[in-house]
Amino acid sequence: MSLSLRIAVIVLLQTLALAAMIALKQRTLDTGAPVVLETQPIDPRSLFSGDYVRLNYAISTLRLDQPGSDQDFKPHDRAYVVLKPGDPYWQPVSVHHEMPALAPGQVAIRGEVQYAGDFLWNQETGTSEKVRNVRLRYGIESYYVPEGAGRALERPAAGEKISLRIAVDRAGAAGIKAVLVNGRERYVETLW
C-alpha cells in the first residue's frame, strides 16, 4: 500500500468515527420524541474544554415503589424509565431492566444506574425514608455553554425556572434539544 493511500485510509476511518458521533446524536435529536424535564443546574465548571453546567433532573433519583418497577438494580446496570406527559414536565411511571411495552403517549428513556439503595432523604420532611431507590445517569447531564454563561444558569434570577427539552428515540437514547427558561428557549441545538 502506498504512503498516500495509507494516510488516506487513516484519515477516512478517523473522520468517519468522528462523523458517526455527530450522526448518532443528530439522529436521536431528529427522530426522538420531544420531552420536557424539570432540572436544576448544578456545579458549573470551567475546564479546559470550556464552561458547562451539570444538570440534575427530577428523574435523576427515582423511587422504585411505583407499581411495575423492577427492584434488583445494582450500580452500572442499564435501566429504562417510562415517562408520561405532564404539565409542564414529564413524569416517571416505572423503572425496568429491559425496554418495556409502552402505552400510547409514553416514552422510555435509557439510563445507567449509578447507585441503588434502600434509604432516601426526604427534603420536605428532613428525614431519611426507607424506600428502594436508584440514582440514574442518562447521558444528558452536561451542557456546554458560551464562556461565562454557566453561572447564569446555575443561579437563575428570582422567578426563573430552568427546564430542558430533550429528544428520546425509540431505543431510549436521549439528547438535549433546548434549554428553556420559564418555558422559553434560551439555547437551541442545531446541526450546524
Partner 1 sequence: MRDSKFIRRLQKELPVWAEHGWVRPEHQQDILAYAATQSGGGTSHLTLALGVMGAILLGSGVITFFAANWGAMTKLAKLAVLFGGMWAAYAGSGLLMARGSLMVGHAVLLLAVILFGANIALVAQIYHIDSHYPDGVLTWSLGALLAGWLMSSQPALAAGLLLGILWTGMEGFGFGGGIHWPFLLLWTAFLVPILRHRWRIALHFALVGLLFWSWETFWQTVMRGQGRLLAQVVELFLLSYLALFLIGKLMALRPDVEALSSVVQRYASFAVLACFYVLTFPALRRWEHGHAGGTKALDGEPALWLMGNFLALTVVAGLAWQHHRSAPAEDRPPHFVAGQALLAAVAALLAVNLFAPPAWGGVLALLFNLAYFASVVWLVYSGLHTGNRSLVNQAFGFFALWVLARYFDTFWTLFDRSFFFMGGGLLLLLGGYFLERQRRRLNQEILLRGEGGK
Binding site for partner 1 (CB under 8 A): 1, 3-4, 6-7, 9-11, 13-15, 17-18, 21-22, 25-26, 48-50, 52, 75-76, 112, 139-144, 146-147, 175-176, 189-192
The DSSP output letter for 160 is: -
Contact 45, 93 (CB under 8 A): no
- Closer by beta carbon to partner 1, 131 or else 188: 188
Which residue's C-alpha cell is 439528547?
175
Nearest approach, Cβ of residue 81 and partner 1 (Å): 17
- Closer by beta carbon to partner 1, 11 or else 171: 11
Q: Residues with Cβ < 8 Å from 146, sequence gap 6 or more?
A: 51
Cα gap 100→22, rounded to integer Å: 28
Grid coordinates of 60: 435523576
114 residue type, one letter? Q
Nearest approach, Cβ of residue 70 and partner 1 (Å): 19
The CA-based angle 55-156-44, given to 5 degrees, is 40
Nearest approach, Cβ of residue 11 and partner 1 (Å): 5
Nearest approach, Cβ of residue 120 and partner 1 (Å): 23
Contact 35, 107 (CB under 8 A): yes
- Closer by beta carbon to partner 1, 6 or else 155: 6
- Closer by beta carbon to partner 1, 125 or else 190: 190
- Closer by beta carbon to partner 1, 4 or else 125: 4
Nearest approach, Cβ of residue 162 and partner 1 (Å): 15
